[in-house]
Amino acid sequence: MSGNFEQDTSRIKQKLQEEIGRGGLGCLLDHLRICGVMPESYGHDSSEEKLYSKYTDVLLAIAFRRLGLTSLVLTERADAADVEVVGADYSFVADAKSFRLSRTAKNQKDFKIQAMDTWKQGKPYATVVCPLYQLPRRSSQIYQQAAARNVCVFSYSHLAVLVSYADIAGSERSQSLLGEVFQIVEALTPSKDATSYWLAVNRAMLDFDERMRPLWETEKKATLDAIKVAKEEALTYLARERETIMSLSRDEAVHRLIKAHKIDTRRDKIRSITDNGLLRVV
């Protein structure tokens, strides 16, 4: 962390491109399989958390380029999608999502389906790419909103299959497949049912080409392996944190608790409040 967000984002983009350039398809797939997990060590609303979110955006753009599409990560505006993608036959905006494994309550606002609809800016499609195992598996408003607003809820696992397919079938076929998925979501009857949504998306991909089936089976296994790795990393971190807390002296524990509740910052803010003089404006 340099303290300059734009510089750090540019550095992440460069290092990620260099790494995937050296490691090829396998390296890109590894990133797609694990990137949906926000590290437990990153504090909420911290610079690390914001930079990690930008890493997933950069990774998304690289993955779409692997399909032969032109993609750009937007860094300037807060009221816009994070990734813009243009192809020969269609264009769309995209947003990458990541969540801590310890996070419990997630609602439709976390996925920004409605916001993505307003951020299309004339483009016909939009997609939100999420970790598959963090998506609702039974019923959720996000699927109803996705069909109603023509925003494709996609997963990193599905994107990994698409990237693998592009490697064997070429960019033209992979772009056609992604376009067909967008059209399937557009044609869906709005419903909260997760099963009907994913059945439509999964069938569209599997029925597109007989070569999809082995790629699909490979990704199913890789997804299970990625979950195992992410859980081990998160649990190891929490175990270290527990050990550190247990070894604290009373004074150290009190100091940490005061810092965690931002007592000093809140106190300073309260003390800084003064009469703003508006009553004197006559």
DSSP string of 85-102, one letter each residue: EE-SS-EEEEEE--B-TT
Give the separation between CA 43 and CA 127, rounded to whole angstroms: 27
Give the separation between CA 72 and CA 92, rounded to whole angstroms: 11
Q: Is 260 left (phi over 0), alpha (psi -120 to 50) or beta?
A: alpha
pLDDT single digits (tens) 63-93: 999 999 999 998 765 667 889 999 999 999 9
**Virtual torsion, Cα 154, 131, 137, 213, nearest 10 deg:** 60
| Residues ≥6 apart with Cβ < 8 Å to 130 | 36, 97, 111, 153, 154, 155, 156
Per the CB < 8 A criterion, the answer to whether 154 and 129 are in contact is: yes
Q: What is the mean pLDDT of the chain?
A: 91
Residue 277: per-residue pLDDT = 77
For residue 24, the surrounding DSSP H or E stretch is helix 5-34
DSSP string of 136-198, one letter each residue: -SSB-HHHHHHHHHTEEEEEHHHHHHHHHHHHHH-HHHHHHHHHHHHHHHHHSPP-SBHHHHH
Residue 35, SS3 per DSSP: coil
* Range 181-196 average pLDDT: 95
Residue 161: per-residue pLDDT = 97
Q: Which two tokens stand for residue 210?
A: 């007989």
Per the CB < 8 A criterion, the answer to whether 59 and 16 are in contact is: yes
Residue 109: per-residue pLDDT = 77
Sheet containing strand 91-96, strands side by side? 70-73, 83-86, 91-96, 125-130, 151-155
Give the separation between CA 201 and CA 46, rounded to whole angstroms: 35
Give the separation between CA 257 and CA 259, rounded to whole angstroms: 5
Per the CB < 8 A criterion, the answer to whether 85 and 93 are in contact is: yes
Asked if residue 106 has pLDDT above 80, the reply is no
Rounded to 5 degrees, what are φ and ψ at 35?
-70, -20
pLDDT single digits (tens) 19-69: 999 999 999 999 999 999 999 988 888 889 999 999 999 999 999 999 999
Residue 76: per-residue pLDDT = 63
Residue 259: per-residue pLDDT = 86
Give the separation between CA 14 and CA 228, rounded to whole angstroms: 29
Counted residue by residue, the chain has a size of 282
Residue 105: per-residue pLDDT = 58
Residue 71: per-residue pLDDT = 94
